[in-house]
Amino acid sequence: MGRFTGKSIIVTGAGSGIGRASATLFAAEGGSVVAADKTEAVHDTVEAILKAGGTAKAIQMDAGDEGDVERTVALAVSEHGGLDIIYANAGISGGITGILDTPVELWTEVLRVNLIGPFLAIKHGAPEIIKRGKGAIVCTASVAGIRSGAGGPAYSASKAGVINLVTTAAQQLTGTNVRVNAICPGLIETGMTARVFEYARANDKMDKVGRLNPLKRAGVPEEIARVALFLASDDASYVNGQAWAVDGGLSSSHPVTRQEFGKPAV
């Protein structure tokens, strides 16, 4: 018996990276997973889960589109009898352009996916979880949402919003036994950060990757997934309204090389 036997679970952004690792681990511990992603790669995630003996359904959807979120919740309810857990993980980076150079259209899109997406997951998922008597919602924020120095301005602002969203949602859901928490990953090797790692490997600079955190390395998706599973499980039954940094210690100081206005980054 795994921690999630008999549990119905949605994971967004499950086509790769943290989402794929999380969907795989939820299923390995007995969960019935709806793996959701905008890309066709989500079908590969589900195929791997099924081959391993797990239970999963794939759905291609846009995490920032209300109709798509409603369809995803409805699929979990119809296929797995209800909903116990949502991991609202889907997100986009928005690049690293400066705050004065970022088009408003890019800001709008980053906020739509990264912040409105988790809001929609809570809005449409929480009522179904409440019907089960208890459950959990986990959202992916970022260390970039804690303070400056770990991401572009649009991305950082969106993730700061996620941190506030989970604290507010936890309060709004008082008395429902639905817990809402966030994870704040540091530098993790995923599709979103692929260019960083590709450059480092091509230029023999992997020793520089993650050097600003005390562990002096980047993380891997499974290290975030394991924390997501903990927060979603009954093991974390008294953890609510929190944002957990999983970053090798980076956010204990957020050391950065300061960039002066109007000058290129060094």
DSSP labels, 78-111: HHHSS--EEEE----------TTTS-HHHHHHHH
Of residues 191 and 109, more confidently modeled: 109
Residue type, position 251, single letter: S
* pLDDT for res 206: 62
Q: Which of 13, 34, 236 is nearest to 136 (CA)?
A: 236
CB 121 within 8 A of CB 12: yes
List, for residues 207-228, the tens digit of each pLDDT value.
Answer: 666 677 788 888 899 999 999 9
Q: Does position 43 have pLDDT exceeding 90, yes or no? A: yes
Instruction: Give the range among 21-35, 117-131, 146-160, 228-242 with minimum mean pLDDT.
Output: 146-160
Q: Which DSSP letter does residue 188 get?
A: B
Q: Residue 34: helix, strand or coil by DSSP?
A: strand
* pLDDT for res 63: 98
List, for residues 68-126, the tens digit of each pLDDT value.
Answer: 999 999 999 999 999 999 999 999 988 878 889 889 999 999 999 999 999 999 999 99
Q: Does position 197 have pLDDT exceeding 70, yes or no? A: no
Q: Which helix (H) or strand (E) holds 59?
A: strand 55-60
CB 25 within 8 A of CB 227: no
- Work out the percent of the chain whose per-residue pLDDT is above 90: 74
66 vs 72: CA distance, rounded Å: 10
224 vs 185: CA distance, rounded Å: 7
| Set 87, 155, 199, 238: catalytic member | 155
Domains of the chain with bracketed CATH: 8-189+220-246 (3.40.50.720)
Q: Which residue has the tokens 């967004």?
A: 12
Name the burial class of residue 230, with classes exposed (0-12), middle (13-18) and buried (19+) by CB atoms within 10 angstroms of its CB: middle
- The reply to whether 238 belongs to the active site is no
Confidence of residue 265 (pLDDT cuts 50, 70, 90): low
* pLDDT for res 69: 98
Confidence of residue 246 (pLDDT cuts 50, 70, 90): very high
> Which residues have CB under 8 Å from 46's CB, separation 6+?
23, 33, 35, 56, 57, 58
Residue type, position 100, single letter: L
Q: Token pair of 75, please?
A: 């699929």
Residue type, position 55, single letter: T
pTM: 0.91
